Each structure stands twice: as structure tokens, then as C-alpha cells.
Amino acid sequence: MVGEETTRVSDHVWAIMGFPNIAIVVGARATLVVDTGLGPKNGATAAKVAQKLAPTNRLYLTTTHFHPEHAGGEPGFPPQTLLIRDAEQQREMGVHGQEMMDFFRNMSARNNDLLANVELRPPDISFEKEAMVDLGGGVRARLLWLGGAHTNGDELTLVEPDRTLISGDVVQNKVVPNVRGDACTPATWLAVLDRVAELKPVRILPDHSAPGDASLIAAEAELIREIEARGLALKRQGMSIEEASKQVTAELKTEHPDWANTDTSRIMPSVYGETK
Ligand SMILES: [Zn+2]
């Protein structure tokens, strides 16, 4: 559940740490919330926390991708909230939104409860590649679609002047990449990371792991290359996707005993060149 405690990430960025981490960017006139939590009840908590940080600010909302723990809490936000997201994310929600919603509902009775009767509205503003959101007082959020990595519609937010990057699933910290989008492969993910590196962020807030510095970008790329190389070697030996995934998962677990999860089953099919 989304809590009410915030962690300060940089001068204008706060986070509610949880599943997912929800970023709150506060300017002089407006506040941008990035991600909602699972379902309207959690969305309402995130909105309340954002309003507490800056009670008179206008509220904006954006989402890192369409998955329900990131976007499914939107109806819990006040109705006058301005919703912005990239067009690819919205298209992907149109194609896979219902299926993902059902997948999450079926996980547990609590999820089913949180997502009961959720109807999501289209954004007030959508953009193809970039939208600059002026929050007042010199605080700007650059919303960016750089291509597909975790999902086709992955959105990243660079907060200026902090140079804090809200990275969604695209850059994580000690987390194995999870390839879900129809058009996503290790190669598309690596291409996105090249563009992320050009942004030269100082601080990175991922959605499912701890904040870190810009070194997370190179670490993410290295991890993807490593999994890809190992997977392809096992493919050449004639191993099945399932076996290769089990083996690489176990190897990563041995190398990184402190990681919560080293499951490679969501990236191995794309390493093998399986299309969805
Ligand atoms: Zn996701």
C-alpha cells in the first residue's frame, strides 16, 4: 500500500518509497506526481501526500508505463488533476491494459479489491517524444519517450535544475530487467540507455529499487549485455529458453546474493529472439 511518508531525493523531488516508488516533483505553482500506486485508494493517498507538500499548487500526474501499479490509481486523484503521458504508452494501454488489469486482479484478493471497477480515462495531454512541463519557480520536468525498454511506452522524467531522472523500470538498481513490451528486446533497451546516458542525470530514482547516481545507467547496460551473452551461449548449446533462464537466474543469484530477485524468465525469450 502507498504510505504517507516521503523521502527527499533532491531539491525539488520527493518520493514515497514502495511498490512502486512514487515521485513527487514540487515547483512554485504546480506539483507533478509520477505514478499512482495500485488502484484508486493508493492513488488518493499519493495525491494527498503531494497536496500536503504544496497545498496551493496545481496537480499534474504522469505515469512511467501503463501497468496497473503505475497507472491504475489515476481515478483516486482529484478530478481537476492534469493527466499527461506519452502517446505510445496510451496506445499500449489500449492494446494490453485490460489484460494487465486482469493479470493483477488475479494475483490476490487484495489486488482484486484495489482494482475493482477501475475505469481509466485518456490523458488531457499526450505527446510523442517530449513534453516540457513548467512547474514554476524555475522547476521543469522533461517528460521523455526514448523508445521501448521494459514496455513500448516507457516514459522517463528529467527534473531540472536538479538533474534528477525518474527512470521507471528503464534504469533500476540491483534488479534484473523485465522485458514486457511487444516491441522490446535487449537491443531496444540498450538503445534507450544510450540516450538516457546523454541526459547526464546526477541522481536517479527508479520505480522498483533504491535511488542512486548516474553509474546505474552503465550498470543496467552491462547487466543486459551479460544476460544476453550468457543466454546466447546457452542457446548455441541447444538449451531451451526455460533451462537457460533457470541457469542464468541461479548464476546471478550466486553472484549477487543481496539482490531481492534475479529472475531472468522475463528477458530470456527476447534474448532467444522470440517475438511476442
Ligand atoms: Zn511494469
Read off the pLDDT of residues 163-203 as tens digits, 9 standing for 90 and up: 999 999 999 999 999 999 999 999 999 999 999 999 999 99
Checking if the pLDDT of 250 tops 70, the result is yes
CA of 181 to the centre of ligand 1 (A): 9
CA of 170 to the centre of ligand 1 (A): 10
Checking if the pLDDT of 138 tops 90, the result is yes
CA of 73 to the centre of ligand 1 (A): 14
pLDDT tens column, 51-107 = 999 999 999 999 999 999 999 999 999 999 999 999 999 999 999 999 999 999 999
Task: Write out the residues surrounding ion ligand 1, Cβ under 5 A.
Answer: 67
- What average pLDDT does range 14-39 have in this prediction? 98
CA of 20 to the centre of ligand 1 (A): 9
- Each as own residue / partner, the long-range contacts of residues 47-54 (CB below 8 Å, 24 or more positions apart, any chain) are 47/76, 47/77, 47/78, 47/81, 48/4, 49/2, 49/4, 49/6, 49/16, 49/24, 50/24, 50/26, 52/4, 53/6, 53/14, 53/24, 53/26, 54/26
CA of 67 to the centre of ligand 1 (A): 5
CA of 183 to the centre of ligand 1 (A): 15
Instruction: Tell me the C-alpha distance between 228 and 36, whole Å.
Output: 32
CA of 230 to the centre of ligand 1 (A): 24
- How confident is the model at residue 130, as a pLDDT? 98
pTM of the predicted protein model: 0.97
CA of 65 to the centre of ligand 1 (A): 7
CA of 169 to the centre of ligand 1 (A): 7
In this structure, the number of other CB atoms found within 10 A of the CB of residue 166 comes to 33
pLDDT band of 275, cuts 50, 70, 90: confident
CA of 214 to the centre of ligand 1 (A): 21
- How confident is the model at residue 276, as a pLDDT? 65
Q: What is the mean pLDDT of the chain?
A: 97
CA of 66 to the centre of ligand 1 (A): 7
CA of 240 to the centre of ligand 1 (A): 25
Tell me 115's DSSP state: T
CA of 151 to the centre of ligand 1 (A): 7
- How confident is the model at residue 125, as a pLDDT? 98
CA of 101 to the centre of ligand 1 (A): 12
